[in-house]
Structure 1
Amino acid sequence: MHTNRRDFLAGTAATAALIATPIRAAEAAPLSRLFDDLVQAQLHRNPEGATQLGLDTGANAGLRAKLSDQSAAAIAASKAETRAELAKLEGIDRRALSAAEAIDLDCVLYTRRSAVAVQAFDFGGASYGPSPYVVSQLSGAYQSVPDFLDTKHKIESKGDADAYLQRIQAFGRQIDDQTERMRHDAAAGIVPPDFILDLAIEQMGKTAVPAADALVVQSITRRAAAKGLGDEYGRQAAALYTAGVLPALERQLAYSRALRGKATHDAGVWKLPQGAAFYPVALKATTTASMSPEEVHRFGLDQAKALSARLDLELRKQGFTGGSVGERMAALYKNPDQLYPNTDAGKVQAIAYCNARLDAIRHKLPDVFERVPPYSFEVRRVPAQTEAGAAAAFSQSPAIDGSRPGLVYFNLKDSGDWPRFCLATTVYHEGLPGHQLEGGLALSNKELPLIRKINGFSGYGEGWALYAEQLADEIGMYDDDPLGRLGYLKFMLFRANRCVVDTGLHHFRWTREQAIQRFVEQEGETPGFAAREVERYSVNPGQACSYKLGHSVFADIRQRAKAKQGSRFDLKAYHSAVLRHGRVPLDVLRQIGNQWVAQL
């Protein structure tokens, strides 16, 4: 079902001359034209993505008034289009390509092969990756569209406001289409776990409110008035919401409550028809690593053992000697000196601290990177209406033209989940020098075709972000913050345990409670934080393994270069080598690393 590793690597043979040739020769016209066509098709399938990237302008200005079509007919058409795109990509004559163009082709091929493998399963949708459930606490128009319209859809003119109203109309249709997809999947035995439906129902209830309280209405009312467009847009938005969106939300809420009666408490996809086949496909699609669930589980156990020993040593240095590593970390979590008040004012303080850490590391980046992205970045709090089910922290890329900053979000539903010593390393992961640096460099890389800038790979992106946490320690960000170093090591251990827990849930049939207990006992996680993580993995099988698997590839390339060069090792050159080609699957990253090390 999924791409065979040997066949894939054979397809990347053109990378062998990577270091010996220029970064990019004159683009092969057929490949360039095909990439342009693929980008246009992708943007039209996903107008929300076009807006987020700032690409809903010019010939694509019409996309600003649209949301993606989630109907059964559109899903079938998208699958057919993906298969056709794959056939065109496989028809490209590789002999005419430079080494860099061959990497571009291999990366885009990987996305379409992976999509075809996932789409072979006629159920589910996507949030952080392939999901067996179209609507969950992390996915579904009910929770994504209000935030998207409020934070991504700009209102600078009458045309922008008119487009916003059209998107409100599309919002209701999208909800109904997803409800029908839920019915389709349930008929095939695809029902989310009871605890997932409970979270989704809670969030839907907060979204299904009268127009005066609805974010999508409040947002345009406030912003249109601020631009001198008057009150009429707010009234029109309220009427459209009341007529179309609220009834659709109420229908989805009613169906979700009815579906709850059919749900079981089993967390893993093993319980689903085709679940045992789906998990390895989802694992490969998200990690881009060619490892079996058993291999990933063993890797996680080995990494967790080594990292627990490192954390134990650092704890002892700080005078924490009594009890297991998990017990000592749990005690540190309860240290009042490390806790922000669980109030709106306390949460403002936490976000201010995070932005200060982002500013502090920003000034050190030129010391270790040859190029830094030209964008601005900031940290924000997850909106209160979605924090019950949202991930603990996540990142959103800036607009390509810099008109919107790169954003890092923290879920502060309970401030106790985020003691101060845990915040800094997450800022470095989600912000700088993590996702926002890596993604910003890709978006501003003039050597990459657009299709490479707007597509990513979780194994690469999350692996780099975890490496960024390590780099922050190495450049002195914890020299005056020893408890922050404990947070860094704790989160490194957390990513190793993710490999154990994800495969445990979906392959070894662990329960939700068993998975939560692993985090609590091993790392001292708060039960609430651990529960939200496990609930995330339950709807996004495989993705949680991306972090440590990707980190291991970046770390291995660097270690081999240092072993070969010794004191001549150049950290800036290493960073350029692994970042210069943008986001790539881990198998391609290994080839890039092998060639770079061989030429040292």
Structure 2
Amino acid sequence: MNRRELLAALASAATLPLLPGCARGRVTPPTSPAPRGGAALAVLNDVGENLLRLFPESATQLGIDTGARAELRSRLTDRSAEGRRRIAAQVRADLDRVDAIDTAGLSHATRTSVEVVRSAYATALEGLALPYGDTTVGSWRNTPYTVIQNVGAYLDIPRSLDADHPIENAADAEAYLARLESYAKQLDGETGRMQAARGLGLVPPAFLLDKALGQIRLSARSAREGGSLVESIERRTKTIPGDWARRARTIAMQAVAPALDRQIAELEAERAVATGDAGIWARPRGEEFYRWALHASTTTTRSPDDIHETGKRELEQLHARMDEILKGLGYTNGTVGERMKALAADPRYQFPEGDAGRAEILAFVQQRLDWVRAQMPRMFHTLVHPNMEVKRLPPEEEPGAPAAYGGAGSIDGKIPGRFWINLRTTSLHSRYSLGDLAFHEAIPGHIWQGEYTHEMPLVRQLLAFNAYSEGWALYAEQLADEFGAYENDPVGRLGYLQSLAFRACRLVVDTGIHAKRWTREQGVQFFVDVNGSNPLEVASEVDRYCSWPGQACGYKVGHSEIVRQRQKAMTALGPTFDVRAFNDTVVLGGNVPLDVLAKNVGEYVHSATK
């Protein structure tokens, strides 16, 4: 569907009905559920509360660690082997309860929630049955490695304590200190699991360990000096009587720093026996782990070979579109990748280095977000108004982090949605790709979509599916293009198409590394040579694929499925198709596996043809 066709569909006088329960002005919860529906919702709510107790940081991130849940503000997830066993036992018991729900006669929304929990919990149990790894329950960061360059409490907790944990009174400050003590225990719990995994023969690639060691040594040094762990509470308790900074410094120096040192010692022991093999194929039960990781990431049962070939095919189609634009700009010689590298070297599209360039990047992002906010009434009937901010990643996290990431804020609005951007060097970003990145991470991408979950049952706010989340964010990039982001900017459209091609490359590289025994260098070179990608960016990208097998495949698989469902709806509805009604269907149905997405779209089409 090209932009002209889309706008014609948008201008159609017919307004199609939405799914039951979807209001035009805002998201509304279902009203007066039938007794059967009420019983099902009661089970789902109880399951959600159980999940919240397992992962209490989620309560803080959602802004619901108050009232009856106030004690969660003082707790952190148990990351030990025993904690992992407790998570598995709770998930198994709750899945049995949800499996026992009779979905006949339930509302569409409640039935969808039941299907979502069944899918997420069954997938998590498969992962938790594996002998190693960090398995999430309804989230995207599944990894065989408990601690590595982009995984571990040493990265998560300092950021969460500073960015998410509120300090408005003495009780909040005490809760901060309790979490600081728990942070040290988390670290030791992780270290025990790392040692057990090494005993099974699971050791991360040497190049990932080198990155992780560099980062965690900085964290340990910071903790020994008090650092950000102390500065965060000191800055926010200036008007709250108490010796908060001294107490935090004592915990950081006497508990956290030694626990970090113990992790460093374990990582050094792993480094002494590590190899350069990048893929999970080289680890015990690696093929089994990768099959599960691909299923968790894509919510499909597609094979590595199928995904690999799909990536090559979609890449060829995208490059054909890019070739036409490049020729129009006078770039006629060489492959698409070679010409995109030449474009990237053009000073007109680069930001200056240093703080001046960083400020220019942030201003550029804000301008693009201001533009796209104004387009939302043309894309959706049901609008949200996300509270959000653009923030630089903490410098200690930047070496192992992607170019950016984003997510919605808390339900009460006290914690804004955040578009985290990596500014370790301004050369990570270009003028022709940065707007597209903002659309992906913020509006109408991750932050916008996340706002629609806030009035769903609690368990739905806690569960997410990689293929849907990232597929929606790519579809958000497509919407921005279709609604005029690059109307007079062919170079910007090249950046958008290169972004899609980048995700097609991911299908090839992730499966290449983990199933076809590619080296890290082969993965990096594929991006640079075939897609003309920034080598600085893709080096960290490929390292991320090595530590999160399968995750990179969710993006394009999810995007292609959303586009396929839209095309099916257009074919079925013809001239009465309304893109706003379709988009509402996708976001109001919530974060779902791809088979549930297909059911939601099918019900939308059925209701629209009545």
Q: TM exceeds 0.5?
A: yes
Q: 1:350 to 1:217 in 2, by over 3 A?
A: same
Decide which moves more: 576-585 or 268-277.
576-585
What secondary structure is seen at the aligned counterpart in 2 of 1:94? coil
Hey, what's the Cα distance between the residues in 1 that align with 2:571 and 2:93?
Answer: 45
Hey, what's the Cα distance between the residues in 1 that align with 2:350 and 2:208?
Answer: 29
Hey, what's the Cα distance between the residues in 2 that align with 1:233 and 1:388?
Answer: 31
Counting only pairs closer than 5 Å after superposition, residues 419-568 of structure 1 correspond to structure 2 as 419-443=430-454, 446=455, 448-568=456-576
Deviation at 1:396, TM superposition (A): 2.5
What secondary structure is seen at the aligned counterpart in 1 of 2:389? strand
Decide which moves more: 337-346 or 201-210.
337-346
Hey, what's the Cα distance between the residues in 1 that align with 2:20 and 2:447?
Answer: 29
Gaps of 5+ in 2: 1-16, 23-29
Residue 311 of structure 1 pairs with residue 319 of structure 2: no
| 1:541 counterpart letter in structure 2 | P
What secondary structure is seen at the aligned counterpart in 2 of 1:503? helix
| 2:473 counterpart letter in structure 1 | A
What secondary structure is seen at the aligned counterpart in 1 of 2:453? helix
* Partner residue in 1 for 2:186: 174
Decide which moves more: 209-218 or 31-40.
209-218
* Partner residue in 2 for 1:215: 228
| 2:216 counterpart letter in structure 1 | M
Hey, what's the Cα distance between the residues in 2 that align with 1:22 and 1:376?
Answer: 24
What secondary structure is seen at the aligned counterpart in 2 of 1:421? coil
Deviation at 1:137, TM superposition (A): 0.9
Deviation at 1:213, TM superposition (A): 5.2
Q: TM-score, normalised on structure 1?
A: 0.93
Out of 212, 216, 219, the position equivalent to 1:204 is 216
Hey, what's the Cα distance between the residues in 1 that align with 2:197 and 2:169?
Answer: 41
Between Structure 1 and Structure 2, how many residues are aligned? Answer: 578
Deviation at 1:20, TM superposition (A): 8.8
| C-alpha contact (below 8 Å) 2:277/2:519 kept by paired residues | yes
Q: TM-score, normalised on structure 2?
A: 0.92
| C-alpha contact (below 8 Å) 1:372/1:437 kept by paired residues | no
Residue 103 of structure 1 pairs with residue 112 of structure 2: yes
What secondary structure is seen at the aligned counterpart in 1 of 2:237? helix
- Structural RMSD (CA): 1.7
Q: 1:394 to 1:126 in 2, by over 3 A?
A: farther
Counting only pairs closer than 5 Å after superposition, residues 37-56 of structure 1 correspond to structure 2 as 37-56=46-65
* Partner residue in 2 for 1:244: 255
* Partner residue in 1 for 2:593: 585
Query: For 1:32-77, what per-residue CA distance to the aligned partner results, in whole angstroms no more than 9, with x for missing partners?
Result: 2211211111111111111111111111101111111112211111
* Partner residue in 2 for 1:89: 98
Residue 114 of structure 1 pairs with residue 130 of structure 2: no
Residue 333 of structure 1 pairs with residue 344 of structure 2: yes
* Partner residue in 2 for 1:393: 404
| 2:545 counterpart letter in structure 1 | Y
Counting only pairs closer than 5 Å after superposition, residues 155-166 of structure 1 correspond to structure 2 as 155-166=167-178
* Partner residue in 1 for 2:71: 62
Q: 1:20 to 1:411 in 2, by over 3 A?
A: closer
What secondary structure is seen at the aligned counterpart in 2 of 1:409? strand
| C-alpha contact (below 8 Å) 1:289/1:549 kept by paired residues | no
| C-alpha contact (below 8 Å) 1:339/1:416 kept by paired residues | yes
Query: For 1:85-109, what per-residue CA distance to the aligned partner results, in whole angstroms no more than 9, with x for missing partners?
Result: 1111111122352333221111110
* Partner residue in 2 for 1:342: 353
* Partner residue in 1 for 2:12: none
Out of 133, 141, 149, the position equivalent to 1:129 is 141
Out of 199, 203, 206, the position equivalent to 1:194 is 206
What secondary structure is seen at the aligned counterpart in 2 of 1:408? strand
| C-alpha contact (below 8 Å) 1:397/1:405 kept by paired residues | yes
| C-alpha contact (below 8 Å) 1:269/1:275 kept by paired residues | yes
Query: For 1:100-140, what per-residue CA distance to the aligned partner results, in whole angstroms no more than 9, with x for missing partners?
Result: 32211111100110111111102111584221000011110
| C-alpha contact (below 8 Å) 1:126/1:134 kept by paired residues | no
Hey, what's the Cα distance between the residues in 2 that align with 1:480 and 1:350?
Answer: 21
| C-alpha contact (below 8 Å) 1:457/1:583 kept by paired residues | yes
Deviation at 1:19, TM superposition (A): 8.3
Out of 65, 71, 74, the position equivalent to 2:83 is 74
Hey, what's the Cα distance between the residues in 1 that align with 2:521 and 2:595?
Answer: 34
Gaps of 5+ in 1: 1-17
Hey, what's the Cα distance between the residues in 2 that align with 1:582 and 1:392?
Answer: 26
* Partner residue in 1 for 2:580: 572
Decide which moves more: 80-89 or 238-247.
80-89
Hey, what's the Cα distance between the residues in 1 that align with 2:291 and 2:217?
Answer: 34
Hey, what's the Cα distance between the residues in 1 that align with 2:104 and 2:569?
Answer: 30
| 2:151 counterpart letter in structure 1 | S
* Partner residue in 2 for 1:9: none
* Partner residue in 1 for 2:282: 271
What secondary structure is seen at the aligned counterpart in 2 of 1:95? coil
Deviation at 1:454, TM superposition (A): 2.5
| C-alpha contact (below 8 Å) 1:425/1:488 kept by paired residues | yes
